Chains A and B, each alone.
Chain A
Amino acid sequence: MKILVPVKRVIDYNVKPRVKADGSGVDLANVKMSMNPFDEIAVEEAIRLKEKGKASEIVAVSIGPAKAQETLRTALAMGADRAILVQTPDEVGAEVEPLAVAKILKAIADEEQPGLIILGKQSISDDSNQTGQMLAALMGRPQGTFANTVEVEGDHVIVKREVDGGLQTVKLALPAIVTTDLRLNEPRYASLPNIMKAKQKPLATKTPADYGVDITPRLTTLKVSEPPVRQAGIKVADVAELVEKVKALGIA
């Protein structure tokens, strides 16, 4: 079974994003970029399934600017076998919307015929939480979103999902789509030798047009603004003063 893992290049999670003064977006110039943390978890899960003998090949895919190659090399260094970059124009803010990403991924899945596609549940940049579900709909296949554990058994995958009240377990016929939640696994770091080896692994470069997908956005961002900032309040000296304040709030 082949596993397809879409990975996205996003602002590093340690960086505090700043809104541009002209309100056109978030300033990404000279900001550290990394693989979306949920996608690292997706790559890790694919590697573990391969190590368990449940998968034969892992293909990483990214849709983005030329620099998304770095993200794909990271996936290859972790243990993916080959990569596909679907290159989009470089200008900042010209990112591709989840619906178009899902359409490109569907076209790639039609070619590659993976048994499982593992995505992140959301990217930490746009926080959309859509791509996996959209891909599943376009393919007419089942989805195990917010996965906490994934077990492949024969022609099915059992996914335990993190839901609002606790956990829910579903059984999905393969091929299926899985999106990762935080506690699915702890991703490995790529070792130096593996980073070197990754440079030799195959990376194909394509364009959205190769897959016949129109990436014209459906949403227009009119403006991006700072949220209202919270001011720091007061510090109380001791518990007695805190008790007074809490009582004054009328909750105790």
Chain B
Amino acid sequence: MKRRNLLKGIGLGSLGMVGLSPQVKASEILNPLEGLEEKKKDPAFEQFGRTDYETARDAKLFAEQFFTKHEMKTISVLADIIIPRDSRSGSATDAGVPEFIEFMAKDKPELQTPLRGGIAWLDSQMKKRHEQDFISSTDVQRIAMVEDIAYPERKKSGMSQGIAFFSLMRNLTASGFWSSKIGIEDIGYQGNTPNQWDGPPEDVIKQYGL
């Protein structure tokens, strides 16, 4: 699957930018870079201006389960390796990233094979190396594996499929983390609230010599 197709679904403002013309596709900007179980029926997801056909479709997606328990565990471990807890905020799993990825796989079925297949690829690599799957391996073993697929420019032979999978996991994890309550607080986004706009603060204008 080409990156471009996976990017297709990225909507307006997804880059965290204001003033973005709605007709500009994120994929257009990014493409050339080529190279919840218990939350399932969360009422917070209901009632935000849905049409009947959207409510029906979302209910159907919530009722389904795509990933197996094993796959969900693998996704959780990977997500926390990608975005761990640090002094400023919690980890990807704290922010509900695995549940979000489960939902996205149902919402955008084009994600299913790259994710399921990516996990299977990872497990088969680990079995070759250590005779056990990714989540059964030790932290040190897991990190050694991640080191081989987390850096696209290292181009280690035999790793290209793993690199593609890890990039997808990184991007989904970032999407899920930074758009969560925890992530939004961490990144310092201060809008989405009525206010009066009067230009950037004085000290900022000074800092940039404008």
Whether A and B are associated in the same complex: the answer reads no
Q: Chain B: residues with CB nearer than 8 A to chain A?
A: none
Which of A's residues lie within 8 Å of B, judged by CB?
Answer: none
